[in-house]
Amino acid sequence: MFSGDRFFLCGDAACFTDPLFSQGVHLATQSAVSAAAAIDRIIAHEDELDAVHQWYGRSYRETYEQYHEFLASFYTFASFTEPESEFWLRRRISESDDDRLNRKRWFERLAAGDDDTDTARSVAGFRDRAATMISIGRHKRMDLSDEFSDDELNGARVRWITHLTKQLNRITWLRWNGDEVLLRPYYKVEPLSFRLERKLVIGNELGQDMIKYPLEEEHRLVFEELLKDRVGYRALIRQLGDAGRQDVSSQIVIRLMETGLLTGFDKNDNRVHIQDRLRFDGVGTDYEV
């Protein structure tokens, strides 16, 4: 429990992650902003007390889980690049029953999907995400210098985006995973005012949802069409653009695929695998690897 009644836990008081990447600093600042926004919302809307606490607990837990998965993937990748290192080998995740990760929700999803039908959430898929993370952010030169420029990473990023775009364009039809397309209330911290505002997010009747991008009824109707007709990736992007989400239409589709709400298929009805990324979604900023 991260909060309740008149208290909100922040920073190390709530949870702790490995100090390797100073992630505790981000968790502390993000939780402080979220807690302040939550308190402000409760003062103005006392009837939303329980809902705001539920939001705080979920958003904090999911951010922590993102960081934890990042660390585990980094350690696992390092164990393969330096197989003679006992330090890294002891931190490798190679089986879905690794008891060091009990009660970690991302790992429970990984273990549950460790079969041929759910490669994205299998141990193999976990290693793929780690490899993707490293390949995009890895520098080619071996010497250290204070002349670092972010442009050094552009080549790898362009190659990755090119491959992603090709995969997406192979999708000739998309399946909505569920019998219903629903909108349900959620909260978002506004990045400029830092106030907690009620929004609507899309999901299905099974409890799955995509909380990154708030959507409205006109967007829900776009996805509801997937229950009736075969709609391809490009057509779906155009429809979302016509509904006012042109700037983030592809990101919305990718996020829905990552959360398991959408599945894409090619012209031969074969599933198109989209390699998901490790993300760090803070208040007002997205950290995507």
Provide the residue-wise pLDDT of the chain in tens; the chain has 289 residues.
889 999 999 987 777 766 666 777 888 888 999 999 999 999 999 999 999 999 999 988 888 877 777 777 777 777 777 777 777 666 666 544 445 444 455 444 544 444 444 444 555 565 566 666 666 666 666 666 666 666 777 777 788 888 889 999 999 999 999 999 999 999 999 988 999 999 999 999 999 999 999 999 999 999 999 999 999 999 999 999 999 999 999 999 999 998 999 999 999 999 998 877 666 555 444 444 3
Task: Identify the residue whose tokens are 């193999």.
Answer: 124
Same domain for 189 and 122, yes or no, is: no
pLDDT of residue 141: 64
pLDDT of residue 166: 95
Same domain for 144 and 15, yes or no, is: yes
Residue 95 has which token pair?
């089986």
Whole-structure pTM value: 0.78
**Distance from C-alpha of 36 to C-alpha of 41, rounded to nearest angstrom:** 9
pLDDT of residue 135: 67
Same domain for 7 and 142, yes or no, is: yes
pLDDT of residue 130: 63
pLDDT of residue 9: 92
Residue 166 within a domain? no
pLDDT of residue 92: 65
Write down how long the chain is: 289
Residue 57 within a domain? yes
**Distance from C-alpha of 129 to C-alpha of 72, rounded to nearest angstrom:** 11
Select from 104, 119, 153 the last residue of a domain. 153
Split into its structural domains, the chain has a count of: 2
The boundaries of the domain holding residue 100 are 3-153
Task: Please choose, from the candidates 171, 164, 162, the residue with its C-alpha nearest in 3D space to the C-alpha of residue 270.
Answer: 171
Which distant-in-sequence residues (6+ apart) come within 8 Å of 221 by Cβ?
none
**Distance from C-alpha of 252 to C-alpha of 230, rounded to nearest angstrom:** 18
Same domain for 17 and 131, yes or no, is: yes
**Distance from C-alpha of 213 to C-alpha of 280, rounded to nearest angstrom:** 15
In the beta sheet, which residues pair with residue 137? none
Residue 135 within a domain? yes
Residue 80 within a domain? yes
Q: What secondary structure does DSSP assign to the chain, as a single string? A: --EETTEE--GGGT----GGGTHHHHHHHHHHHHHHHHHHHHHH-GGGHHHHHHHHHHHHHHHHHHHHHHHHHHHHHHHHHSTT-HHHHTT---STT-GGGTT-HHHHHHHHT-STT-GGGSHHHHHHHHHHHHHHH--S--S--TT--GGGGHHHHHHHHHHHHHHHHT--EEEESSS--EEEEEEEE-TTT--EEEEEEEE-TTS-EE-SS---HHHHHHHHGGGTS---HHHHHHHHIIIIIGGGHHHHHHHHHHTTSEEEE-TTSPBPP-----EEE-SS-EEE-
pLDDT of residue 278: 63
Same domain for 138 and 17, yes or no, is: yes
Residue 163 within a domain? no
Same domain for 63 and 143, yes or no, is: yes
Measured distance between the N- and C-terminal CA atoms of the chain, rounded to whole angstroms: 29
In the beta sheet, which residues pair with residue 202? 183, 210
pLDDT of residue 110: 42
Phi–psi pair at 200, nearest 5 degrees: -115, 135
CATH number at residue 191: 3.30.390.160
Cα–chain center distance at 39:
26
pLDDT of residue 287: 44
- Cβ atoms 80, 93 nearer than 8 A: no
pLDDT of residue 227: 98
Same domain for 190 and 233, yes or no, is: yes
